[in-house]
Every structure is written in structure tokens, then in C-alpha cells.
Amino acid sequence: MYKEEVIDLYSMIRKRNPLIHQITNAVTVNDCANVTLAVGASPVMASSIEEVEEMVKLADALVINIGTLQSGVFKAMILAGKAANKIGIPIIFDPVGVGATTFRKEKAKEFLRQVDVAVIRGNASEVDSLMGGASTTRGVDAGVVEISLKELAVKTAVSYSCVVVISGQIDTISNGTETIQITNGDFWLKSITGTGCMSTSLIGCFIGITKDYFLAAIAGTSLMGLAGEKAKKRLQEDEGIGTYKVKLMDEIFIMNGDTWKEEVQIHES
Ligand SMILES: Nc1ncnc2c1ncn2[C@@H]1O[C@H](COP(=O)(O)OP(=O)(O)OP(=O)(O)O)[C@@H](O)[C@H]1O
Ligand SMILES: Cc1ncsc1CCO
Ligand SMILES: [Mg+2]
């Protein structure tokens, strides 16, 4: 049902080359910029309070990721978020590690109180924690969540009036009314840091070209899963995570609508 529309997004993004303003973490900033280029968008990483409001006005979408959050940068996130809301630039929010510390929990909730977002993407315990759930996040890694992923995605989407992506072995995406799951992926995606952050940046690229944020979330999420799966298949016996990361970038870069359509596994409920 969603396939033809997503294929259109893959060709459209290269033509439109949207500018994606990202305030992200110090660990994965370079990888996030490179996946943005790989999918056909342009990244700009700017996080100073002196310039974020001016920068976001030039952008087609804003990515906010709290992975290595610091107080000064949080102020910049709020300034950029409010400026984006004022002129209708869509925002994706990645609450990295939100269950791990009080600081992250307070700041993530404050951001979502002050700024309207189009998409939230996190792993299961991060999303659970945003909803006040009891699960803890071990640093940035997902912990165990008691409620069903579909239920959690729907509840969170309704609560924050946005699209929610819960990543994991199965990716679950909901806009509160429609919910789908994607089963592409490979557990090696967890062996390199930041595949979640990169997935957030990819979705950020797609919300920069369509107002259908549910479709944009499907496009970005499935691209990471499918690329991760294909990269793993191309590894030789003596190759490890260094080569895997390079091949992952390559697979994102060479993905086209036809391959995507043949291999994507979207399950509608
Ligand atoms: N067990 C698994 N099997 C297959 N794919 C997986 C598995 N776990 C995660 N993935 C995939 O890995 C990618 C990152 O998801 P993950 O849930 O690890 O994000 P994250 O915890 O936010 O990562 P990070 O914080 O390191 O960026 C997604 O594309 C997801 O589908
Ligand atoms: C490892 C790590 N620590 C803070 S952010 C980050 C990248 C993955 O989320
Ligand atoms: Mg993450």
C-alpha cells in the first residue's frame, strides 16, 4: 500500500536535495552528515545559540538528537525548535539514552513541551521512558520493555501528536491511527555505534521533502534496515565491523526504488 509512494520519495530526494539542519551528538555527527549526503540530501551541523535560528530558516527539516547533551546546546535546541515551529519546518527528535539519567529525562520532556515535533525516533526503552514507563536504558542501549511495541508506539504517537518510530529487531511505526512494522535489518547494525542516530537523520531527510511524515518515517527506517541487511550479505569471511560500516554507507548510497520495493518487508496490521 505504501510502496509506490515511498519509491517516489527515493527519486524525489535526489532531485530536491533538501537541506537538513542537525543538532546532534559528538559521537556520530560525522556519520549523520554522511548518510544525509548518501541519500541525496545536504547536511549542515550547527549548534551555537548565536546562529541556530538563522540557520534553521534555510533548512527543509531539523534533526534534534540529545546523545551527548550539554546545557548550552540544549538552549540552542529550544531556540532552533521554536524558530522551526514558527515557519513550519518539520522536526525529528531522537531522545538518546533518555531513560539513563534524570538530566536527559527532564530535558527531553522539556523539549517536547516547548516544541512541536513531526517524528520521535528511539529504541524501545527510550520511547517507554518518554511515556513515563519503568524500563531503564543502559547508557544508549535499549533495555527490556514490558508493554507491546505496537501499543507503546500508538500511545506515544497520540500523546505527543506525532509519528513515532520504535527501532529494534522489528521496527514499529505509528501515527496514532495507522501502525506498521518493518522486519528488515541485521543484528550487526548494533555492532557499530549510531545506526539509530543515522536512521533519525535519514528520516529527517525525508520529512524535508514530504508532509506525509508517516511515509517519511517508513522510508528512512526501512532504508537503514535494508541497507544493513544487504551490507551484511556482502561481507567476506575475514571482514568485520570496519568494513561493515563502509558497506552500510555504500548500500544507502546505491539503494534505488526497484531494489527497495523487491526486498522491503513492511507488515500492516
Ligand atoms: N536485533 C536486531 N536485528 C536486526 N536489526 C536490528 C536489531 N536491533 C536493532 N536493529 C536495527 O538497527 C538500527 C538501529 O536501531 P537501534 O534500536 O539499535 O537504535 P539505537 O538504540 O537508537 O542506536 P544508537 O543509539 O546506537 O544510534 C535500526 O535500523 C534497527 O532496525
Ligand atoms: C555511544 C553514544 N554515547 C552517547 S551518544 C552515542 C551514540 C549512539 O547513540
Ligand atoms: Mg539511539
Ligand 1 pocket, 197 CB below 6 A?
yes
Burial of 89-99, coded b for 16+ CB within 10 Å and e otherwise, reads: bbbbbbbbbbb
The closest ligand to the CA of 29 turns out to be: 2
Q: Is 167 annotated among the ligand-binding residues? A: yes
Residue corresponding to grid cell 531556540: 79
* Exposure of 54 in the CB half-sphere (CA atoms within 13 A): 5
Full set of structural domains in the chain with CATH: 3-268 (3.40.1190.20)
Q: What percentage of the chain exceeds 90 in pLDDT?
A: 92
Average pLDDT, stretch 134-149? 82
d(CA 41, CA 201): 10
106-122 average pLDDT score:
98
CA of 199 to the centre of ligand 3 (A): 9
- Per the prediction, the chain carries an average pLDDT of 96
Q: What is the mean pLDDT of residues 168-181?
A: 98
| Mean pLDDT of the 38-44 span | 98
Closest CA to 47 of 82, 22, 30: 22
CA of 268 to the centre of ligand 2 (A): 31
* pLDDT over threshold 80, residue 183: yes
pLDDT for 135 equals 74
Confidence of residue 147 (pLDDT cuts 50, 70, 90): confident
Does 45 have pLDDT greater than 90? yes
Task: Please report which ligand is nearest the Cα atom of 195.
Answer: 1
The C-alpha cell at 157 is 504517537
Confidence at residue 169, expressed as pLDDT on a 0 to 100 scale: 97
H/E stretch holding 124 reads helix 124-130
Mean pLDDT across 88-97: 98
Rounded to 10 degrees, the C-alpha dihedral 119/125/129/132 comes to 110
At residue 120, does pLDDT exceed 80? yes
Q: Which residues line ligand 2 (CB under 6 A)?
A: 25, 27-28, 67-68, 96, 140, 193-194, 196-197
Is residue 173 a contact partner of residue 269, using CB atoms and an 8 Å limit? no
Residue to mutate, 199, 202, 203, ligand 1, most ligand atoms under 8 Å from C-beta: 199
Residues 39 and 58: their CA atoms lie apart, in Å, by: 19
Query: Angle 210-92-6 (CA atoms, 0-180°, nearest 5)?
Result: 35
Query: Which residues pair with residue 119 across a beta bridge?
Result: 92, 163
Q: Does 239 score more than 90 pLDDT?
A: yes
Please state the pTM of the whole predicted model.
0.98
| Ligand 2 centroid from CA 140, angstroms | 6
Contact 49, 75 (CB under 8 A): yes
**Does the annotation flag 234 for ligand binding?**
no
Residue 138 pairs in a beta bridge with 141
Q: Is the distance from CB of 204 to CB of 20 less than 8 angstroms?
A: yes
Q: Please say if the pLDDT value at position 141 is more than 90.
A: no
pLDDT at 3 over 90: no
Write the residue with the smallest CA distance to atom 14 of ligand 1. Answer: 196
User: If you average pLDDT over residues 56-75, what whole number do you get?
Assistant: 98
pLDDT at 102: 95
pLDDT of residue 208: 98
Report pLDDT for 187.
Answer: 97
Q: With contact defined as beta carbons under 8 Å apart, do 220 and 260 qualify?
A: no
